[in-house]
């Protein structure tokens, strides 16, 4: 990737031009972004991967957020200051899309995908330093919020991800460091899992972007 042409991405001996340069601004073409995401998805996840037409509206929001198109995001009700919480039923493609959209902006710092169960397993092994670790200034997307097991360290239970989210909220308020996430749960289920205080902070941390309840399981 040439930093002077971040809209042109090379993959497997082919180049994808995601838009045009106008001065120091990139005018992105959404259809060309989708073409690239389809190709990149096949490289990452195998030849069976595809971009589904019914996901176009979700992708439009995610892509405009990722390229930081302020005016389009404002029309869509998406706040660029907040992170993304992508929700939807099991198998609808949440994790794959959050892994993918990082690649359309190689000139921006990418977030790291972290399965929530891994955070809990680390807590069970080394304790509260895990919460401090994920409450640092790095950029994360926590995958599968709400379905991780309860943490347990030296006989004491801990809602590990709930504590991590409270730490991430402090980072957001004080330093504008964003956090992303994916979840299969709805708002009420998240509140039952994490409590009212964490759910309240999540409203401030995240833009909620959701698949329809009837979205197909793409793993079948």
Domain range annotation of the chain = 8-210
Report the pLDDT value the prediction gives residue 12, as an integer from 0 to 100.
Answer: 82
Report the pLDDT value the prediction gives residue 3, as an integer from 0 to 100.
Answer: 59
Report the pLDDT value the prediction gives residue 24, as an integer from 0 to 100.
Answer: 84
Top-confidence residue, 13 or 42? 42
- Taking the complete model, does pTM exceed 0.85, yes or no? yes
pLDDT at 206 over 60: yes
Report the pLDDT value the prediction gives residue 59, as an integer from 0 to 100.
Answer: 97
Report the pLDDT value the prediction gives residue 136, as an integer from 0 to 100.
Answer: 86
Report the mean per-residue pLDDT for the chain.
Answer: 93
Q: Which CATH number fits domain 8-210: 3.40.50.300, 3.40.50.970, 3.10.450.630, 1.10.530.10?
A: 3.40.50.300
Report the pLDDT value the prediction gives residue 31, as an integer from 0 to 100.
Answer: 96
Report the pLDDT value the prediction gives residue 212, as an integer from 0 to 100.
Answer: 85
Report the pLDDT value the prediction gives residue 155, as an integer from 0 to 100.
Answer: 84
Report the pLDDT value the prediction gives residue 139, as an integer from 0 to 100.
Answer: 95
| Strand extents, DSSP E, the chain | 8-11, 14-17, 19-22, 25-28, 83-87, 112-115, 140-145, 151-153, 156-158, 179-183, 206-210
Q: Which of 26, 208, 207, 206 is nearest to 106 (CA)?
A: 26
Contact 123/130 with Cβ under 8 angstroms? Answer: yes
Top-confidence residue, 142 or 92? 142
Q: What is the mean pLDDT of residues 92-121?
A: 95
Report the pLDDT value the prediction gives residue 34, as an integer from 0 to 100.
Answer: 97
Q: What is the mean pLDDT of residues 60-64?
A: 98
Report the pLDDT value the prediction gives residue 143, as an integer from 0 to 100.
Answer: 97
Query: Which band of pLDDT confidence, cut at 50, 70 and 90, is reported for residue 130?
Result: very high
Report the pLDDT value the prediction gives residue 25, as an integer from 0 to 100.
Answer: 87
State the Rg of the chain over Cα. 18
Report the pLDDT value the prediction gives residue 91, as an integer from 0 to 100.
Answer: 86
Angle of CA points 45, 50, 55, to nearest 5°: 120
Residue 176: count of CB within 10 angstroms of its CB: 9
pLDDT at 1 over 90: no
Report the pLDDT value the prediction gives residue 45, as an integer from 0 to 100.
Answer: 95
pLDDT at 163 over 70: yes
């Amino acid at each position: 990737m040439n930093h002077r042409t971040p809209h042109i991405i090379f993959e497997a001996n082919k180049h994808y031009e995601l838009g045009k340069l106008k001065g120091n601004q990139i005018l992105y073409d959404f259809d060309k972004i989708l073409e690239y995401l389809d190709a990149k998805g096949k490289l990452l996840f195998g030849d069976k991967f595809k971009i589904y037409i019914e996901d176009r509206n979700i992708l439009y929001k995610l892509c405009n957020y990722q390229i930081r198109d302020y005016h389009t995001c404002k029309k869509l009700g998406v706040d660029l200051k907040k992170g993304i919480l992508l929700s939807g039923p099991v198998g609808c493609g949440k994790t794959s899309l959050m892994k993918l959209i990082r690649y359309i902006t190689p000139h921006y710092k990418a977030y790291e995908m972290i399965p929530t169960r891994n955070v809990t397993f680390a807590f069970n092994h080394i304790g509260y330093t895990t919460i401090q670790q994920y409450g640092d200034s790095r950029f994360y997307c926590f995958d599968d919020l709400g379905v991780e097991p309860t943490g347990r360290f030296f006989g004491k239970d801990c809602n590990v991800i709930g504590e991590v989210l409270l730490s991430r909220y402090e980072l957001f308020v004080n330093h504008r460091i964003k956090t992303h996430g994916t979840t299969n749960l709805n708002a009420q289920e998240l509140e039952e899992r994490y409590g009212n205080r964490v759910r309240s902070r999540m409203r401030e941390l995240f833009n909620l972007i959701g698949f329809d309840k009837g979205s197909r399981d793409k793993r079948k």
